[in-house]
Structures are given as structure tokens and as C-alpha cells.
């Protein structure tokens, strides 16, 4: 499995400059617009893209090559999930640096930063939890469609909610429920990790039955 992780790192190294350039741009925009969370949301897009490209590589090369090596099917799945986690760590590192720079330049507070990090990471794990087993089962091309649906669905839901619901009433949260509201990002993150664990088991089940 170490060999597979090394391969992911070599691939990452290939695109390192491009990704770095994109992330620096996001950082500049984020600080310029005084929106540090912008960097985090953009890192989410980059993180999902990175995880997705790992599958593209496997599918293009053929899983048959990997299975001709002394690698267990479990190892292949575990490596892919570790790659997803590795990308999450890089997202976190990037948003931390961005937030630090923003704080340094603009002197803004960092109170809501941690909560936003947990929300963004939670979304990342939820999205990859869906994408990984789908990619194994249906291949990369169909997963692209699923990815588009995943991105579009929350946007549609939010737009519809704003139209239908009385948002002002929702925003005015009472003091008692305030503490629960503050806990939501962390609970959401914990739930996403559980879903991620479930996703691993599903992927394992799917991949163990696959023939090449």
C-alpha cells in the first residue's frame, strides 16, 4: 500500500505548481474580498477534484495492473480512502495558512474559522463518501454526473428554501437553542466521519465482487 500512496504523491507532485497557483489566487481573492471562508470553500472544490483525479488514474491504467501485484483488494480501497484523508489534511493546512494570512493582513478575528473548517471538512467527507463507492461501481464517467448532481442539489435546496421559508424567523434563534446551534458544525463533522466509515465498507463490498 505504501507503493500506491507514493504513486499518489508523485502524481500530486506533477500538478503541484498548477494547484499551488490556483490556491494562491483563491487566497488573494479571499483576502482581497475580506472573505477568509472563500478560501476554505474553494479548497473544498480543489480537494474533491484531487480525490477524483486519483480514480481517473486507476481507471485509465486498469485495475488489472494493480491486481497483478501482491496487493489485497482491501489495500487498494484503504489506500484510496487514505488519499481522501490526506487531501483533507492538505485542505486544512491551506485554509489555516489562508486564515493566518488574512488575520495578519486584515487583522480580522478568527472566532468562526474553526466552525467553518468543520463544516467544509464535513461536506468534503460526505461528498467523497458518495463519490468513492459510485466511482468503483459505475466508473469515473458516471461519477462525474453524480458529482454535478451533488454540487447542484444543495444550491437548488438553498434557493428553494429561501423562497419558501421565513428565513428571518429561522435566523433568530433563541438563547437556549443557541448552544445547540453552535455545536452543529462539530456534530455535522462527526456524522460525516461516520458516513465516511460506512462508505469505506460499501466500497470494500463493491470492489471485492468486481471482476476485471
- Contact positions vs another protein (CB under 8 A): 2-4, 6-7, 10-11, 14, 57, 60-62, 64-72, 211-212
Least distance from another protein to the Cβ atom of residue 136, Å: 15
* Grid coordinates of 195: 458516513
Q: How far is the CB of 107 from another protein (least distance, A)?
A: 43
Distance CA 43, CA 95 (A): 7
Nearer to another protein, 22 or 71 (CB): 71
Q: How far is the CB of 83 from another protein (least distance, A)?
A: 13
Give whichever of 38 and 207 is closer to another protein, judged by the CB atom. Answer: 207
Nearer to another protein, 72 or 182 (CB): 72
C-alpha dihedral, 192 to 38 to 114 to 98, nearest 10°: 120
Helices and strands, counts by H and E, the chain: 9, 0
The DSSP-derived string for 62-127 is -HHHHHHSS--HHHHHHHHHHHHHHHHHHHHHHHHHHHHHHHHHH----TTHHHHHHHHHHHHHHH
**Is the C-alpha dihedral spanning 158, 160, 163, 166 positive or negative?**
negative
Nearest distance in Å: CB 12, another protein:
11
CB of 17 to another protein, least distance (A): 14
Amino acid at each position: 500500500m505504501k507503493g500506491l500512496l507514493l504513486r499518489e504523491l508523485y502524481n500530486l507532485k506533477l500538478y503541484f505548481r498548477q494547484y499551488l497557483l490556483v490556491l494562491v489566487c483563491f487566497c488573494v481573492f479571499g483576502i482581497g474580498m475580506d472573505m477568509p471562508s472563500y478560501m476554505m470553500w474553494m479548497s473544498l472544490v480543489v480537494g474533491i477534484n484531487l480525490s477524483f483525479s486519483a480514480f481517473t488514474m486507476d481507471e485509465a491504467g486498469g485495475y488489472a495492473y494493480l491486481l497483478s501485484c501482491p496487493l489485497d483488494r482491501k489495500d487498494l480501497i484503504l489506500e484510496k480512502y487514505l488519499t481522501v484523508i490526506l487531501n483533507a489534511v492538505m485542505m486544512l493546512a491551506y485554509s489555516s495558512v489562508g486564515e493566518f494570512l488574512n488575520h495578519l493582513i486584515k487583522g480580522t478575528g478568527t472566532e468562526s474559522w474553526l466552525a467553518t473548517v468543520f463544516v467544509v471538512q464535513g461536506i468534503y467527507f460526505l461528498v467523497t463518501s458518495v463519490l468513492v463507492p459510485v466511482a468503483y461501481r459505475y466508473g469515473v464517467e458516471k461519477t462525474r454526473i453524480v458529482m454535478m448532481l451533488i454540487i447542484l442539489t444543495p444550491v437548488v435546496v438553498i434557493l428553494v428554501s429561501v423562497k419558501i421559508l421565513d428565513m428571518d424567523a429561522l435566523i433568530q434563534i433563541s438563547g437556549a437553542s443557541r448552544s445547540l446551534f453552535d455545536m452543529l458544525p462539530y456534530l455535522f463533522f462527526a456524522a460525516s466521519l461516520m458516513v465516511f466509515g460506512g462508505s469505506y465498507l460499501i466500497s470494500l463490498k463493491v470492489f471485492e465482487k468486481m471482476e476485471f
